[in-house]
Amino acid sequence: MSLFDILRGFVCPDTQKLLFRIKELECNYGELAKQLNYAEVRAVMLAKAMVGNLTVPLASGFTKPENAKTYYPFMDVVLDKYASSIADAEYLSFPKQQWVNLLTPIQRIVKETLGEWTTNISDCDDFALVMNSYVAVSFIKGGFSKQGAFLTLWSKTHAYNGFVDSTEVIWVYEPQNNKIVGKLTDTKAPYDTEKVWVPGLKSSLFP
pLDDT in tens, 57-105: 888 888 887 889 999 999 999 999 999 888 889 999 999 999 999 999 9
pLDDT in tens, 159-168: 999 999 999 9
Is residue 143 domain-resident?
yes
Please say if the pLDDT value at position 43 is more than 80. no
Is residue 176 domain-resident?
yes
- ∠ CA 114-117-123, rounded to 5°: 85
Tally of domains in the chain: 1
Q: Could you tell me the residue range of the domain that residue 119 belongs to?
A: 24-205
Q: Which among 121, 85, 128, 123 has a CA at the least distance from the CA of 106?
A: 128
Please say if the pLDDT value at position 172 is more than 70. yes
Is residue 55 domain-resident?
yes
Is residue 19 domain-resident?
no
Mean pLDDT for all residues in the chain: 79
CATH of the domain at 110: 3.30.460.70
Is residue 18 domain-resident?
no
Is residue 172 domain-resident?
yes
pLDDT in tens, 20-38: 555 555 454 455 555 556 6
Please say if the pLDDT value at position 117 is more than 70. no
DSSP letter at 189 equals T
Is residue 46 domain-resident?
yes
Residue 146, CA distances (Å) to 59, 143, 167 in order: 11, 9, 18
Q: What is the pTM of this model?
A: 0.73
Please say if the pLDDT value at position 152 is more than 90. yes
Give the pLDDT band of residue 10 (cuts 50, 70, 90): very low
Question: Which residues 6+ apart lie within 8 Å of 72 measured at CB?
Answer: 89, 90
How many residues comprise the chain?
207
Is residue 47 domain-resident?
yes
Instruction: Report the distance separating Cα 44 and Cα 191, nearest Å.
Output: 24
